[in-house]
Amino acid sequence: MLSLLDLRRRIDSGELSASDAIRQSLQAIGERDGALKAFASVDRSAVAGHGLLAGVALGVKDIIDTADLPTEMGCKAIYGSWRPRADAAIVSLAKMAGATVVGKTETTAFAFLDPAPTLNPHRADRTPGGSSSGSAAAVAAGLVPLAIGTQTGGSVIRPASFCGVAAIKPSFRLLPTVGLKTSAWTLDTLGLMAASVADCAYALEAISGREMRLPDDPGAPRFALARQRFAGDAAPEGEAALEKAARLAEKAGATVVEIDLPRPFADAWAIHGTVQNYEIRVSMAWEYLNRRADLPPRIGGLLDEAQSIRASDYDAVRGAARRARLAAKDFFAEHGVDAILTYSAPGAAPDRSTTGDPRFNKLLTLLGAPCVNVPGLVSGDSLPVGVQVVAPFGRDAQALRAAAWLERIVRA
Amino acid sequence: MLSLLDLRRRIDSGELSASDAIRQSLQAIGERDGALKAFASVDRSAVAGHGLLAGVALGVKDIIDTADLPTEMGCKAIYGSWRPRADAAIVSLAKMAGATVVGKTETTAFAFLDPAPTLNPHRADRTPGGSSSGSAAAVAAGLVPLAIGTQTGGSVIRPASFCGVAAIKPSFRLLPTVGLKTSAWTLDTLGLMAASVADCAYALEAISGREMRLPDDPGAPRFALARQRFAGDAAPEGEAALEKAARLAEKAGATVVEIDLPRPFADAWAIHGTVQNYEIRVSMAWEYLNRRADLPPRIGGLLDEAQSIRASDYDAVRGAARRARLAAKDFFAEHGVDAILTYSAPGAAPDRSTTGDPRFNKLLTLLGAPCVNVPGLVSGDSLPVGVQVVAPFGRDAQALRAAAWLERIVRA
C-alpha cells in the first residue's frame, strides 16, 4: 500500500515531487486496474495541487458528484455518462486541501447490495466488500494513498476490513454530504480509507479542518469489548481476530473490559432497517417510478418491499434511535472507557456473489459515532480481518487515537 | 387566489375535470406571468395526475431538481438550462399524490438575498419577498393553488407574509430535502404555500403521508405572544398586525399570554448566521472556487466573508442551537400553550431593492419548529401583513390547527 504520510514526507523533503506522486498513481492504475476494476473512470490528465494533501492521488466513490468526471452511481443503465454540474462539497474540500482526484471508484448500484465488478486485491474470488468496493480495493492494491467512501449500513468499515485497509467513518455530518447521491439522509456518512490509521487522521484533519493528528505516544486506551450479541454471532475468523486484538491490547497495557451493550442499543439495531429502507424509498422515488426495469435485483427488490413502509411506521421507530444516542453518551462515561472494541465484519471476505454483511456496523452508523477499522490481522487462510474501534459522537480524534494505538500493537 | 380545497371539491363533484383545472392554471400563467415573472420555466404540456392532488397545478421553486424542466438555481450564468437527471424527492412525492408540476418558480440566486425578477402581485414596486419569490407570487396571483418553497433563514414565511398567502414551513425534515440545492444542511426546510391554512394542511397530508387535516371546529388555542425582542423591533405595520391578531384571538375566546422568550432563544438567534454562513460556504465551495465572477453580489459577498469562518467557530456555536431546541421543548409545556404567536416579517413588503428581512424567522428555522404564516391582515396602505404561528417540533398538525383557527378569526 501507499503510505500517505510517507508520501508526504518524501514530498516535503524534496525526494519526490507532488506531480511525480500523482503520475505514479495514474501509472499504477493504468497498469493494474484493468484486472482489479477498482475504478469506474480515470482522469489521466489530473495534475497535482497545493497544500497539506499535495501529491495525494484520491479515489472518489462514484455516487459522489464530480464536475470533471462522470458520476454513474454504479448503475450505467440510468446514470451512464451522467455529468453533474458541480463537485460535491467533499470533493471541493479535498481539492482545496491539495488532493488530486485521479478517478471515480466503483460502487455497488446506489450504494446498496448488488455486487460491483471490483475484485478483492487479496484474492480474486472474494468480494472487496461493498458498497465502497472500489475505494477499498484501490487503496489495498496500492493504486492510491487515499479514497473516499460512504456508509449507510456498513459500507466503509466492512470493505476496509475485507481489503485490509484503515478507514474512518467519522461522526455524522463531520464531513458534508452535499452532492452525494442520497440513500438515507439520517444515516449516509462519508468516510476515508488509507493504508494506516495515522494516514486517515492526517487526511481527515486536512479535509475537515478539525484537529485530528495523533500524539507521538497516544497512551494505552481503556476499551469496552462489546460483541453486539443482538446482531448474531461472528464467523470463527471474525471472533478470532477480535479475541486476538483484545489479548494483544491487554498485554500491551490497555484496559479491556467485556461489556454487553444494554437494551437501547439492541432496540436501535433492530430498527435500522426500517429507517434506512423508508428513507431509500423516498430518496429513490424518481428512479423507482420512472426506471424500475433498469434497477439491478437487490436495490430493485428492496424498493418493491419498501413501498409498503408507511410514514407512520418510520416515525414510530425513530424514538429508538434517539434513545440509543442518549444511552451511548452515558455508556462511555459510566464505564470509564475511551472506545468500544467490536467486530468490523462477521469474518473475512466472502465470495463475490455478495458484498458481505453489515450487521456489526448498522447500530454504529445509526448512532452517528466515529468508527475506525483497524487493519493488520489475518484469518487462517491469510485474508485480512479488521477490528472496529468506536468512540462517542463528536470524539473522532479519540477514536483515531485508540485505533492508532491498537494498530501499532496488532502489527507489531 | 385559487382555493385548493374548493378546486378539489369541484373536481370530486364532477363540476370540473382535473385536466381542465391544470389547463386553467397553464392559461392563467400564459396570460399573466409575462408581467408578474413568477415562473422561471413552464411545462405547457403538463397533464393531470391521479390521487388526492389530482388537478392541482404545482409551482416548484427553481432550486429543486426536476428531470423534465430546467433547474437554474436563480443563476443562469452558472446553471442556465441545467437539467438534472432525476426529480427531487419532494417532486416525486407530490406527483405520486397526483399533483402536476406546471412550472418552476423564480428564486433568488441560490436562495440567498439577491432579488429575483418577480413582482409582488399586490403592488409592482414592492418585493414579493425571498427567496421563494415566485412560489409566493404565483399563489397570490391565483396562477396556481399550490407552490413549494424552501426556508434557510425566512424564505417561506416572509414571502408568504408579503404576498398574503398561507404557508407552512414544517418541522425540520418532515419533507425530504433530497434533490434540493443545499444552502445550509441543518437549516434548509421545504415548505408549502397555498390560499389558506386548510389548503396547506390538505396538501401537507397528501405529500408527507402524515395526518394533518383539520377538525371542523379546532377550538380556541392558547397562544404565547412572543415578540422576539432580541431580534429588534418590528415596523409599525408589523406591530399593528400582531396586536390586532392577538386582540381578535382573545375576543374570540383564545388565551393570549405575552411571554418573553428566555435566554437560550436569544443565544440561538444570535448564532444562526454563523451556522448558516459556514454551511453555505461548504455547500457552495465548487461555485466559489470555479465561478466566483458569475455569482451575483450578495451571495458572492457572503461567500467572500464566509471564507474566514473556521470549522472550530462553527463547532463552538452549535451547542447554543441544541440548548434552544431543548428549551423549546420545555417552553410549551411550562407555559401550557399550544403555539407561539409572533411576527412573520418586520412589516409589509419593502421596495424591490431588497427581499426583506428574515430576522423574525431565523430562530424558528434553527429550532426546526413548524411555522405557519396566517394571512388576512393588511397594512394601512392595503398591503398584506401576515402573523406567524409556531408549534413544538414534530407538532405540525397542532401548528396548522391553531393557525387555521386564527385565520378564520382575522378574516371574519
The alpha carbon of residue B331 is apart from the nearest alpha carbon of chain A, in Å, by: 21
Amino acid at A369: A
Same domain, A134 and A228: no
Q: What is the pLDDT of residue B352?
A: 98
Amino acid at B268: A
Look up the domain containing A63 and give its range: 4-208
The alpha carbon of residue A314 is apart from the nearest alpha carbon of chain B, in Å, by: 11
**Residue A41: inside a domain:** yes
Same domain, A183 and A244: no
Contacts of B205 in chain A (CB under 8 A): none
**Residue A288: inside a domain:** no
Same domain, A141 and A254: no
* B19 flagged as catalytic: no
Average pLDDT, integer, range A61-77: 98
Answer whether residue A82 shows pLDDT above 90: yes
The alpha carbon of residue B71 is apart from the nearest alpha carbon of chain A, in Å, by: 11
Identify the CA nearest to B308 among candidates B329, B281, B275, B288.
Answer: B281
Q: Using 50 as the pLDDT threshold, list the residues of chain B that sit under it.
A: none
Find which of A78, A92, A187, A188 to mutate to test the B interface (most B CBs within 10 Å of its CB).
A92
Dist. CA B189–CA B205, nearest whole Å:
16
Same domain, A246 and A200: no
- Kindly report the backbone phi and psi dihedral angles of residue B336, in degrees, each rounded to the nearest multiple of 5, phi listed first: 60, 40
Same domain, A378 and A326: yes
**Residue B305: inside a domain:** no
**Residue B46: inside a domain:** yes
Same domain, B174 and B228: no
**Residue A280: inside a domain:** no
**Residue B89: inside a domain:** yes
* CATH code of the domain containing B117: 3.90.1300.10
Same domain, B152 and B226: no
Number of domain units in chain B: 2
Give the helix, strand, coil percentages of chain B, each rounded to 5.
45, 15, 40
Note whether A86 contacts B: Cβ–Cβ < 8 A: yes
Per-residue pLDDT tens digits for B66-82: 999 999 999 999 999 99
Note whether A87 contacts B: Cβ–Cβ < 8 A: yes
**Residue A30: inside a domain:** yes
Amino acid at A404: A
Question: Closest residue of B to A209, CA-based?
Answer: B311
**How many inter-chain contacts (A to B, CB under 8 Å) are there?**
84
Question: Closest residue of A to B290, CA-based?
Answer: A86
Across all residues in chain A, what is the average pLDDT? 98
Same domain, A334 and A405: yes
Contacts of A75 in chain B (CB under 8 A): none
Q: What is the pLDDT of residue B218?
A: 79
Note whether B289 contacts A: Cβ–Cβ < 8 A: yes
Note whether A96 contacts B: Cβ–Cβ < 8 A: yes
The alpha carbon of residue B72 is apart from the nearest alpha carbon of chain A, in Å, by: 11
Same domain, B32 and B92: yes
Of B92, B210, B286, which is closest to A86 when you measure between CB atoms?
Answer: B286
- pLDDT confidence bin for A394, thresholds 50/70/90: very high
Dist. CA B118–CA B140, nearest whole Å:
12
Same domain, A110 and A233: no
Note whether B285 contacts A: Cβ–Cβ < 8 A: yes
The alpha carbon of residue A315 is apart from the nearest alpha carbon of chain B, in Å, by: 9
User: What angle is formed at CA A304 by the lines to CA A302 and CA A306, rounded to 5 degrees?
Assistant: 65
Cβ contact, residue pair A283, B96, below 8 Å: no
Find which of A189, A286, A310, A396 to mutate to test the B interface (most B CBs within 10 Å of its CB).
A286
Answer whether residue A278 shows pLDDT above 90: yes
Per-residue pLDDT tens digits for A241-267: 999 999 999 999 999 999 999 999 999
Dist. CA B403–CA A49, nearest whole Å:
55
User: What angle is formed at CA B254 by the lines to CA B251 and CA B258, rounded to 5 degrees?
Assistant: 95
Same domain, B253 and B334: yes
Cβ contact, residue pair B89, A312, below 8 Å: no
- pLDDT confidence bin for A216, thresholds 50/70/90: confident
**Residue A279: inside a domain:** no
Find which of B286, B295, B308 to mutate to test the A interface (most A CBs within 10 Å of its CB).
B286
> CA A410 from chain center: how many Å?
20
Cβ contact, residue pair B92, A286, below 8 Å: yes
Amino acid at A171: S
What percent of chain A is modeled with pLDDT above 90?
98
Same domain, A126 and A246: no
Q: What is the pLDDT of residue A43?
A: 98
Where does a domain end: B143, B175, B208?
A: B208
